[in-house]
Structure 1
Amino acid sequence: MATKTKKRIFYFDELRALAIIFVVLCHACILFRPFRYETLSVSMPGIFYVLTHVAVPIFFMLSGALLLNRDYHGLSAFFKKRFSRILYPFLFWIPIAIIISLFILHNSYNDAFKTFFGINRWPWFVWTMMGIYLILPVVNSFVREYGMKGCEYFMIIWFVTIILNTFNHYPFYQLELSYFARFIGYLVLGYWLANKTVNISDRNMILFGFLMFFASISIDFYIFMKDIPKIETKYLSLFVVLASIGLFLMFKRYNNYCDSNPESLLGRAHSKIENGIIGKAVLSLSVCSYGMYLVNSLLYKIIDKVFHVNQLRLLPILFIGVLILSWLLVYVLSKIPVLDKFSGAG
Structure 2
Amino acid sequence: METGPQEKRMIHYDLLRILAAFSVVMLHSAGQKWYVLPVTGREWQIADAWDALFRFGVPIFVMISGAIFLNRDSSIRRLYCHNILRLLVTYWIWSGLYGLYDCRNYDLEAAGWKVVAKEMLSGRYHLWFLPMIVAVYMLLPILRSWVKNAERKNLEYFLMLFLILKIGMSTVSALSASYLVEYAAELLDAMEIGMACSYIGYFVYGYYIVRYGIPKKWHRAIYIGVIPCAALNILLDRYLSIRAGEPVGQIYDSYGVFTFVIVTALFLFFTDVMGKVSYSGPAARIIRELSEATLGVYVMHVGLLEILEERGIDTMLLPNIVGIPLMALGCYAACSLLAACLRRIPVLGRYLC
Maintained 8 Å contact 1:16/1:289: yes
What does the per-residue CA deviation read over 1:132-175, in whole Å, with 9 as the maximum and x for residues that have no partner?
A: 12222222221112153332121111112221232233222565
Q: Distance in 2 between matches of 1:174 and 1:20?
A: 34
Structure 2 portions without partners, runs of 5+: 174-183
TM-score of the superposed pair, with normalisation by structure 2: 0.80
Q: Tell me the residue number matched to 1:243.
A: 262
User: In the aligned structure 2, how far is the partner of 1:115 from the partner of 1:216?
Assistant: 39
Local SS of the residue matching 2:126 = coil
Within 5 A, what are the aligned runs for 1:130-209?
130-162=134-166, 163-168=168-173, 169-170=184-185, 171-172=187-188, 175=191, 177-198=193-214, 200=216, 205=219, 207-209=220-222
Corresponding residue for residue 296 of structure 1? 301
Flag the 1:174–1:112 CA change in 2: closer, same or farther, 3 A.
closer
1:121 aligns with 2:122: no
Matched letter for residue 220 of structure 1: N
Distance in 2 (alpha carbons) for counterparts of 1:213 and 1:115:
40
Partner of 1:220: 233
Deviation of the 1:111 alpha carbon: 9.0
C-alpha contact 2:297 2:335 (8 A) present in aligned 1: yes
Secondary structure in 1 matching 2:54 = helix
Measured at CA, do residues 176 and 338 of structure 1 come closer, stay the same or move farther in structure 2, by a change above 3 Å?
Answer: closer
Q: Which residue of 2 aligns with 1:23?
A: 24
More displaced, 185-194 or 239-248? 239-248
Shift of 1:117: 4.2
Residue 284 of structure 1 aligns with which residue? 289
User: Which residue of the partner structure matches residue 33 of structure 2?
Assistant: 32
2:55 alignment partner in structure 1: 53
- 1:37 to partner: Cα distance: 6.2
In 2, Cα distance between equivalents of 1:321 and 1:80: 34
Whole-Å Cα distance in 2 between the matches of residues 51 and 33 of structure 1? Answer: 14
Q: Given residue 15 of structure 1, which amino acid in structure 2 is its aligned partner?
A: L
Deviation, 1:124, is: 0.9
Residues 106-130 of structure 1, C-alpha deviations (whole Å, 9 max, x = no match)? 9987598356346x51311112112
Q: Percent identity?
A: 22
Change in Cα spacing, 1:197 to 1:53, as seen in structure 2 (3 Å) is: closer
Picking from 319, 333, 337, the partner of 1:328 is 337
Cα offset, 1:277, TM superposition: 5.0
User: Could you tell me which amino acid in structure 2 is paired with residue 292 of structure 1?
Assistant: V
Q: Deviations over 1:32-57 (max 9, x none)?
A: 21455655x76432211111110110
Provide Cα deviations, 1:2-24, integer angstroms capped at 9, x if missing partner. Answer: x9675422221111010001111
Q: Which structure has the higher relative contact order (CA within 8 Å, separation 6+)?
A: 2
Distance 1:53 1:114, change over 3 A: farther
1:311 aligns with: 317
Name 2:223's counterpart in structure 1. 210
Q: C-alpha distance in 2, partners of 1:298/1:112?
A: 19
1:53-92 per-position Cα deviation (integer Å, ceiling 9, x unaligned): 101100011010011143233x233222221231232233
Taking the aligned partners of 1:292 and 1:104, their CA distance within structure 2 comes to 26
TM-score by length of 1: 0.82
Query: Structure 1 residues 111, 343: closer, same or farther in 2, change over 3 A?
Result: closer
For 1:263, the equivalent position in structure 2 comes to: none
CA RMSD in angstroms comes to 3.0
| Aligned-residue offset at 1:209 | 3.4
Deviation track 1:284-342 (CA, whole Å, cap 9, x = no partner) reads: 22111112100111111111123263434443442222111111111001122122212
Amino acid at match of 2:51: Y
- Looking at structure 1, the residues matched to 50 and 133 of structure 2 have their Cα atoms a distance apart, in angstroms, of 25
How far apart, CA to CA, are the structure 2 residues paired with 1:284 and 1:301? 26
Q: How does 1:251-290 map to 2 (within 5 A)?
A: 251-255=270-274, 259=276, 271=278, 274-275=279-280, 278-290=283-295
TM-superposed CA distance for 1:176, in Å, is: 5.3
- Cα gap change, 1:304/1:176 in structure 2, threshold over 3 Å: closer, same or farther? closer
- The 2-side partners of 1:277 and 1:101 are apart by 41
